[in-house]
Amino acid sequence: TQLLEQSPQFLSIQEGENLTVYCNSSSVFSSLQWYRQEPGEGPVLLVTVVTGGEVKKLKRLTFQFGDARKDSSLHITAAQPGDTGLYLCAGHMEYGNKLVFGAGTILRVKS
C-alpha cells in the first residue's frame, strides 16, 4: 500500500481542456510538494503548500492543500502540449521530515 495515492495514473487530453490530478493519503503531512518530470530529466519542483486549505496559483496551474493536510489537488486550465509530463506529489511526514513520493500521474496533452 502506497502512502500517497495519485489518480489518475494516466491522462490523455486535447489541448485546451481542463484537468485535475489528485494526491490522497490517510496520513497528515507538514507540507506537500508537486514536481513535474519530463522524459530524460529529473523532477522539477513546481510548488510547496504548507497550510491546510492553502491554494496556490502558478499561471494556469492551481494547487490546493486539503484542510486536514492529508490530500492535495492540481488543476490545470486550458492545457497545452508543453504541460505534458509526469506529475509527482510528495509529502513531508509530520514527524522526521522524511519526503514521501506518490507514483505519479502521466499527462499527455495532444495538439
Partner 1 sequence: ETGVTQTPRHLVMGMTNKKSLKCEQHLGHNAMYWYKQSAKKPLELMFVYSLEERVENNSVPSRFSPECPNSSHLFLHLHTLQPEDSALYLCASSQDDSGLSPPQYFGPGTRLTVL
CB nearer to partner 1: give 15 or 41: 41
DSSP-assigned letters across all residues of the chain: --SSEEE-SEEEEETT--EEEEEE-SS-EEEEEEEEE-TTS--EEEEEE-STT-EEEETTEEEEE-TTSSEEEEEESS--GGG-EEEEEEEEETTT--EEE---EEEEEE-
Per the listing, cell 496559483 goes with 57
- Is residue 85 a contact point for partner 1 (CB under 8 A)? no
- Is residue 28 a contact point for partner 1 (CB under 8 A)? no
- Is residue 41 a contact point for partner 1 (CB under 8 A)? yes
In one letter, which amino acid is 33? Q
- Is residue 48 a contact point for partner 1 (CB under 8 A)? yes
Q: How far is the CB of 84 from partner 1 (least distance, A)?
A: 17
Per the listing, cell 497545452 goes with 80
Segment lying near partner 1 (by CB under 8 A), choices 19-27, 56-64, 75-83, 85-93: 85-93
Of 36, 102, 105, 107, which one interacts with partner 1 (CB under 8 A)?
Answer: 102
Residues lying near partner 1 in the complex (CB under 8 A) are found at: 2, 4, 9, 30-31, 33, 35, 40-45, 48, 50, 88, 90, 92, 97-104
